[in-house]
Structure 1
Amino acid sequence: MKIFYRSKQVYFYILLCIFFLIITTPVILPFFYKGYFPTHDGEWAVIRLTDMYRELKDKQIPPRFSGNLNFGYGYPLFNFTYPFPYYAGIVIYLLHFGFVNSIKILFISSVLFSAVSMFFVSKTLWNSTLAGFISSTAYVYVPYRMVDLFVRGSLGESLSFALFPAILFCVIKLLRTGKDIYGIFLAILYGILVQTHNIMAIFFSIFLLLFILGSLFYIRYKSIKKIVFFLLLGVGASAFFWLPALVEKKHILLSYVPITDRSLYFVTFSQLFFSKWGYGAPASSDGFTYQIGIPFVLILLITLIVLISKKRSTIFNTVNTQALVLVGITILFFPLLFKESEIVWRLPFLSEINYPWILLGMLGFLLSLLSGFVAAKPFWRFVAVCCVLVNIFLVLPHAKPQYFVDRGDTYYMTNDATTTSSNELMPIWVKKFPLRRPENKAVLIKGRGLVETEKLSSRRITFTANLQTDGVVRINTIYYPGWILEGSKRSIAYDNPQGVMEIPLSKGMNKISLVFKETLFRSVCDLLSLFSLFIIAVLFVKQIKVLKVN
């Protein structure tokens, strides 16, 4: 009997794998073509991956300051830009896939894993295998996901779509079973989300808070304490990234000059249904679509009908309460797309977000979950299937890039732009932006003598200066906190229009090394992350022992 049961399980998971391949293949197929395709951010992701590789090769751990970008003048890219997708990309690159293919594999993985994680969370949430199939399919074909993959090319957002259902699954299992193993995975996945996309992490955290508060109707207080503990572990594990990014934002242009005018990027009601599909920038004549899709709106309306028609005695059972909470959050998020909600976007954290339409991703996640709820109701099952099929029919023609290019890895490795839209991570003391690479890294700007660069990397610059008189050497690297003179307590001057480092030297032979190190504050953040990871590791080992005993 046990053998029969196990065989049945094996066949089910084989069929499940086939299902995932069938629903995702039309979406991921363009990534298997040779070369790549232009998107707003996709090719920047390849350049960033090549730069992280350089920084890790230079033993700059964790990577924070690029020595190659900004025309070789340096740029604090990974001190502010989400790093996890590129850590994952490095692992893939080390398996000999190349830089372009590594980024493409990450995009493919985001689609596959999002389908898998959505299946399991919907199946668990609604106690229905069919709900899992419907939600998974709906999630893959959310219109905004086609925009993310083939127009915007946002790697962080795409990977966030895979993390949302996985994190929610861990929360639900922890609420229902109280088992710490789910809490451990919750801490790991939430920590990864914070490092994967800052804005998506903010939206999902708001959702998670509301979902947990809504769950107070049917769960124990002890379970809430566990969730908070493991979420804090995830926050601590990612502290090496988000804490310096938050505190040191005062050093960069982004703290003074917004990337764009938020008022231009609100969505109109009609655009949710009928905006055209384009490949251009948002708000332009050929801009990308803001559609949420008529089938998804129907799903929301049907969910409301189902809940309203419930008897008072059954409306607050577990499944219906969960649906009520999700509907409530969806209705709460929808108005934030429109200009009338502008005052809300001035609140802390939300004021950092420039594009309200980015909420379309979160709404797609919520509506995909609700499609599973509708599918779990026998009377509405056929309607749910039809909604998903109609959505596929409407979205599938747009699951393609505008055109393909084959530039090769070398093109991206030699590109030295800042990889940011408005150079917003430039230190505020830089008044004159670089336009070309410097001829020499170390230049004598005052005095007489000979200067030669001996070692050059993202974390170390060594040069010799044989001076006939006292002089000043300019290092054509922008100063950023962390650069120090090795073996000296002297501060580095950078009060010049270029914001580059200048060092006064005495007559004679001088050998100077500048090293980029972690500041005291960053070191404390690193230790907090290591301590959190240590606790997670200890708890994980403990759980493995418990599982072995059981």
Structure 2
Amino acid sequence: MASRSEQPLWRDGFFWLALALTVFAVAPFALPGYFWGANDARHHVYFLFEFNRLVEDGIWWPRWSPDFAFGYGYPFFNIYGPLSHFVATLLLRFGGFSYTAAVETVFGLGIVAGAGAMYAYIRSWVGRHAGLVAAVLYTYAPYHLLVLYVRGNLAESSAFVWLPLCLWTFRQSVRRPSLGWIAGAAVSYAGLLLTSNLIFILFTPLLILYILVLLWTGTTPAPAWPRRALTMIRAAVAPVAGGLLGIGLGAAFLIPMILERNFVRTDQWFDGRYNFRDDFVYFYQFFSPRWGFGVSRAGPDDPIGFQIGAVLLIFALIGFVVAWRSRTWRAEVTVLATAA
């Protein structure tokens, strides 16, 4: 008989509890007018209008936005992950949603799905109780709430779904290789790419390092190094296949973005007010309880907060201490903690 941590998610009461506890994060999107206060909120409504218009014209994979840049057009969806707006378009066309309601619903679905994904990931190797705690902390992490309610970034908030899904499916493809987990890894990796290419770029090195640690800790030290290396190579087939298939699924977006990057003036997003060198977070800001609205600016006096959160820090410290005492979890948790 399978343990509760191995039973299907839909039969796990803690999974449904994790989803239900997201209600406090989703509820504000139901307030009239609340959504418009976020930095990029109305922009995503404009993006959805353009995306839907192109779909109505028969362009099922929009790349060029003819109404942007004062009517001169702009290859917006050639460089911005289109998946979240594609989901919003489905809600708009087949669900009878308004433009604003469709965008708000995608935000809400991302919150719920992200909690479920984190629960599934942590449950698979630590247990149900830890999975529930992780799902709640993930949902109400200050930075997650910042992305939702202050920045109003649809693509990045939707990427919160794919991050734990990638960690879960790639971990399972190493520990329990099968066609199902390879397919899951491929879909998760492609989903992240098609949702937010920036998060995809930042996350990929961490994912590779995580897989290497899983390969190293998942093999029993052999008398001879070549034998252990061969075992690791065999175990790497499944996650590598998942990653390559994921890139293949996202090739329609990835290849044009790379090959046609010189036709887009990306320099305008790295100079002046968008100079990333002015936006590095000061160390003390990670621990400052400040919370506000606005945008990041040069210097330490940002109107918005970048706090990690006292509750997250406490649970992270407890989790790290517990994991360090376990040889089974030590390496994995160390990699994730270092990346964080």
With the length of structure 1 as denominator, give the TM-score of the two structures.
Answer: 0.54
Q: How far apart are residue 15 of structure 1 and its match?
A: 6.0
Task: Pick closer, same or farther for the CA change 1:292–1:10 going to 2, 3 Å.
Answer: closer
Return the structure number with greater helix share.
Answer: 2
Task: Select which of 23, 48, 61 maps to 1:25.
Answer: 23
Larger of the two Rg values belongs to structure: 1
What corresponds to 2:222 in structure 1? none
Q: How far did residue 224 of structure 1 move?
A: 1.1
Among candidates 295, 310, 314, match of residue 294 of structure 1: 310
Indicate the residue corresponding to 1:169 in structure 2.
Answer: 168
Hey, what does 1:266 align to over in structure 2? Answer: 280
2:249 match:
237
- CA deviation string 1:373-425 (max 9, x = no partner): xxxxxxxxxxxxxxxxxxxxxxxxxxxxxxxxxxxxxxxxxxxxxxxxxxxxx
Structure 1 residue 56 displacement after superposition: 1.3
| Higher RCO, 1 vs 2 (CA within 8 Å, ≥6 residues apart) | 1
Separation (CA, whole Å) in 2 of partners of 1:49 and 1:11: 32
Q: Measure, in 2, the Cα distance between the counterparts of 1:9 and 1:248.
A: 44
Residue 279 (structure 1) aligned with residue 293 (structure 2) = yes
Q: Structure 1: how far apart are the matches of 2:268 and 2:14?
A: 54
In structure 2, what residue type is equivalent to 1:101?
A
| Residue 229 (structure 1) shift | 1.2
Which amino acid in structure 2 is aligned with residue 184 of structure 1? Answer: A
Deviation at 1:275, TM superposition (A): 4.8
Residue type of the alignment partner of 1:327: T
Cα displacement (A) at 1:119: 0.8
Partner Cα distance (1:44, 1:244) in 2: 24
Provide the C-alpha distance between the structure 2 equivalents of 1:267 and 1:229, rounded to a whole number of angstroms. Answer: 37
Map residues 278-357 of structure 1 onto 2, 5 A cutoff.
278-283=292-297, 285=301, 287-308=303-324, 310=325, 315=327, 317=328, 320=329, 323-331=330-338, 333=339
Higher relative strand content:
1
Larger deviation: 132-141 or 292-301? 292-301
CA contact (8 A) 1:249 1:255 kept: no
Matched position secondary structure for 2:37: coil
What's the offset of the Cα at 1:263?
2.1
CA distance 1:10–1:116, shift in 2 (3 Å)? closer
Query: 1: CA distance between counterparts of 2:149 and 2:80?
Result: 21
Q: Aligned AA for 1:263?
A: R
Aligned length: 318
Q: Distance in 2 between matches of 1:196 and 1:226?
A: 23
CA distance in 2, matches of 1:11, 1:211: 28
Instruction: Work out the CA distance in 2 between the residues paired with 1:271 and 1:238.
Output: 36
Aligned partner letter, 1:283: R
SS at the partner of 1:106?
A: helix
The aligned residue for residue 254 of structure 1 is 266
Q: What letter corresponds to residue 204 of structure 1 in structure 2? A: F
State the AA in 2 paired with 1:227: P
CA distance in 2, matches of 1:173, 1:227: 9
Correspondence for 1:385: none
Question: Which deviations, in whole Å up to 9, do the C-alpha atoms of 1:315-349 show, x marking residues without a partner?
Answer: 2x3xx2xx423323432x3xxxxxxxxxxxxxxxx
| Equivalent residue letter for 1:28 | V
Determine helix, strand or coil for the equivalent of 1:97.
coil
- Mapping 1:65-144, distance limit 5 Å: 65-94=64-93, 95-126=95-126, 128-144=127-143
Secondary structure of 1:75 counterpart? coil
Structure 1 residues 355-504: aligned runs within 5 Å = 363=340
Q: Structure 2: which amino acid aligns with 1:242?
A: L
Q: Which residue of 2 aligns with 1:416?
A: none
Cα deviations by residue, 1:262-305 (Å, 9 ceiling, x for unpaired)? 22111122111115111011137562111012332333433443
Q: Is the 8 A contact 2:182 2:239 kept in 1?
A: yes
Counterpart in 1 of 2:42? 43
Residue equivalent to 1:226: 238
RMSD over equivalenced CA pairs, Å: 2.5
Distance 2:115 2:296 in 1: 27
Q: Contact conserved, 2:18 with 2:116, CA < 8 A, in 1? A: no
**Counterpart for residue 226 of structure 2:** none
Q: What is the TM-score when the length of structure 2 is the normalising length?
A: 0.86
Is 2:14–2:128's contact at 8 Å kept on the other side of the alignment?
no
The SS at the match of 1:37 is helix
CA 257–41 in structure 1, closer or farther in 2 if over 3 Å, else same = closer
Query: 1:279–1:286: 8 Å Cα contact kept in structure 2?
Result: no
State the identity %. Answer: 25
User: Which consecutive residues of structure 1, in runs of 5 or more, have no partner in the other structure?
Assistant: 334-362, 364-550
Tell me which amino acid in the other structure corresponds to 2:334: V
